[in-house]
Chain A
Amino acid sequence: MRLALELRERTPAWLNLALPLAAVLATLVLCSGLIALAGADVGEAYLALFSSALGSTFGLSETVVKATPLIFTGLAVAVAFRAKFWNIGAEGQLLAGAMAAAFIGAREGLPAWSLVPLMIVCGAIAGGLWAALPAVLKLRYRVDDVVATLMLNFIMFYSMMALVDGPWKDPLSGYPDSPDIRLEAEFPMLLTATRLHLGVLLSALAALGVWFLMRMTTLGFAIRAVGENPRAARHGGIDILRTTLLTAVISGGLAGLAGVGEVGGLHFQVMAALSPGYGYTGIVIAMLARLNPLGVVPAGLFFAAVLTGAEAMSRKTGVPVFLADVIQGTALICMIVALLFSTYRLRLRRAQAH
């Protein structure tokens, strides 16, 4: 008896659903070992984690709020990876969008009604441009996109810090934060007594929009073709430069919107703690979703639940909060293993009958 992998002709639809679920389940099983090691009861710890994240209206709304930037960055990565544009720079693009929103939102000279739409549009453009830069470097000068997008994250973060610790420092607080945006620039809330803001709605619309783009438009087709086989795409008359550049701009724009939502709906300013690595988590989410835009929503919600629930779990059972990070990492590895089974099937090989 032996195990072997065989190529599948096609992936059955149910498998696309079952694999991420199996990966999540495997993650929880694997991480239970660490919980036990921390001296807590596994069942109790997971119960604390998920009941605080999903068990109450407030917990649930907090999870959804937390999921919003993750869904945006997950979508950003999903789009880029389809074209094999390895955008590791959603973090920097998120900050670019956030800074644009914070800048626009604080302008006194603009009419009040125009603030929110302008923040959204300019934030997306800022993120898109920040992603266009490495795309141009890649297309023109063959600069590696992984390295370029990654490095630009640090450039953006420390540029932002230099600004908010200098010319853009909030004169009222004196902290290294940008000045608050105007009241009229704050995103409207969807439900009272929660922090569900306009960005939440936008992220859901974005998921639908990206799904439509990838599945139903010629641009989405071109993005997939370029990612799958650039030579064939070129022979087929697809403009690789244009497609890759558009992919980068769309990807960066989505990441930028993550930043816009955080500024407009939650923090109303930019500061060092604006993003605890949402751009990087977006990569894990996109992988967990198998680059499927609609899959990004549940994947983002799962990660958000782990993030919000981890604190409650820590308080109740004494398990360190860092377990949330371990769960994220484990989920990525489990998903990568699970992805193998979407293109291959596992077969038991019997010793041949004599």
Chain B
Amino acid sequence: MEAGRKAMSETVPLLVLRGITKAFGSVQANRDVDLTLRHGEVLGLLGENGAGKTTLMNILFGLYAADSGTISIEGRPVALHASADALAAGVGMVHQHFHLVPRHSVLENLMVGQKGRGGRLDEKGARARLGEIAGQFGLGLDPDRPVSRLSVGEQQRLEIVKALFRGARILILDEPTSVLTPQETEGLFAAIRAMAERGVGVVFISHKLNEVRAITDRIAVMRQGAMVAVIEAGAETSNHRLAELMCGHELAPPVKRPVETGRVLLRLERVSAGGGDGRTAALSEVSLELRGGEILGVAGVSGNGQRELAEVIAGILEPTDGRIEVDGEPVTRPSPKAMQGLGVGDIPEDRIGAGLLGGLPLGDSMTLPRIDRPPFSRHGVLSRGAIRAFVTEQILRFGIKAEGPEVRTGTLSGGNLQKALLARELAWDPLVLVAAQPTRGLDVAAQEFVYNEFLDLRARGRAVLVISEDLEELFEISDRIAVMFEGRVIDVLDAAEATAARVGLLMAGVREAA
């Protein structure tokens, strides 16, 4: 079979993209991109945010029309005008955000879009086919379980099954591991290998270089809309080399210099919060101290009170008990405005949902928390000139890819949105910065950028609280790491003495016996 696959892939490639070009206004999203995918191949697609990966895949999936270029599948040119065409041609795509009907069962979700015979759905056939796919690829799912009761990993599995069910021979996975636990990732990789074994071509888009190197056969790297390299995923490709290909220049890893810690800038004493609105007690008796010149990392399995911790410090969530002090000042009436007034900067986890104004100009998004102050306004009257000048300056300083302050915020890519949010909060030099999942979905270069900004704050004697599910990130930048479990801070470790194993145990609620 191995030989058969080889022979097939040598004769006619599964997919050939040739000279794909696409512009949005003056932005060249794809320029003359060539890409070949063989039968049974796993191809990694790497690139910074805004490098054109998503545009390219959207063209392949029929969501955008290319300005020029051709697509052929198994040697035959195809015209993909809509995702229906792509599905018919055997192209399947699993997006980062799933497209499932939560109330419907696994089987019903599979049958969405089926024509059926004489208006009747072929449930028996679908059930049999689901069993077949499950067996072949190790993608088992209970057909009658409603999607709302599936875990995130299972929902993703359903999306993959859905694509295979519709006869996908080319499967695009857009950052599939960003939502998975390490165990679920292993399961996904096994399924990808099984699919490749049976001749399915897989395009694997990810920012996690280790994963890309582990699962793919070849790696294609895009930069500024162009394909800059396609290399074999062998031992000789290092993360460092890939990162440099992606950003086109040498990368200096963030340097954490020793800094004198200053006075306590943020103190939480037995703070409890949440529990209302049907939510279970989210924070219980959390005590923390954060000094100037310090980065405190907060680790924990998602949903153990990290979000509430961030919200309490940002003034969004009112504590039910306990005491909060910022730079020695007790917080009496918490509100976002009050916390800002005391010097707390807030980078919420959900950038576009809680941070920025997607449908409004970038200028509005970037001045939102300070709009009621000079120079942006005086006596309630806006100074459009000052707003424009500020935003233009920040766009340059942070290298935000946006045409100007008038661009609709929502059209920026993830990394640029995060830069905009950072620029906005750093511009007023907060004493304490609370950042939740600050690099989620960002590429290597953007990650480094964020780390350097945090380290710069630290060097200037400010305090940074970073909540993250990425342990490597916490080890890289934190001075101390607090681990949360079921709403409590169960331990705070010095970063020097923290190991992945120790933190991992704490995240599971296991405290080592003293």
Contacts and interface: CB of A to CB of B under 8 A. Distances in A.
Interface of A: 2, 4, 6-7, 9-10, 215-222, 224-225, 228-229, 231-239, 347, 349-354
Contacts of A225: 357, 360, 364, 368
A352 B65 CA distance: 9
26 contacts: A2-B81, A4-B81, A4-B82, A9-B25, A9-B407, A216-B381, A217-B380, A217-B381, A218-B372, A218-B381, A218-B382, A221-B382, A224-B360, A225-B364, A229-B354, A229-B356, A231-B353, A232-B365, A237-B340, A239-B335, A239-B337, A350-B65, A352-B69, A352-B77, A352-B80, A353-B70
A349 B81 contact: yes
Contacts of B369: 235-237
A351 B82 CA distance: 12
A316 to B, nearest CB: 46
Contacts of B368: 225, 232-233, 236, 238
A221 to B, nearest CB: 5
A222 B381 CA distance: 12
Q: Most chain-B CB neighbours within 10 Å: which of A216, A229, A234? A: A229
Contacts of A228: 357-360
Contacts of B353: 229, 231-232
Given A224-B357, A232-B353, A347-B65, 16 more contacts: A2-B81, A9-B24, A218-B371, A219-B380, A225-B364, A225-B368, A229-B354, A232-B355, A232-B356, A235-B346, A235-B354, A236-B336, A237-B337, A350-B65, A352-B78, A352-B79
Contacts, number: 107
Chief secondary structure at chain A's binding surface: mixed
A9 B336 contact: no
Nearest to B377: A218
A220 to B, nearest CB: 8
A187 B400 CA distance: 56
B384 interface: yes
Contact of B411 (A4, A7, A351, A353): A7
Contacts of B79: 351-352
B65 A235 contact: no
Nearest to B369: A236
Contacts of A349: 65, 81
A145 to B, nearest CB: 20
A237 B316 CA distance: 9
Contacts of A9: 24-25, 27, 403, 407-408, 411
Contacts of B24: 9
Interface in B60-77: 64-66, 68-71, 77
Contact of B382 (A217, A231, A352, A353): A217
B82 to A, nearest CB: 8
Closest 6 pairs (CB-CB, A-B) = A236-B368, A237-B337, A236-B369, A237-B336, A349-B65, A231-B354
Contact of B371 (A221, A231, A350): A221
B295 interface: no
A299 to B, nearest CB: 22
B186 interface: no
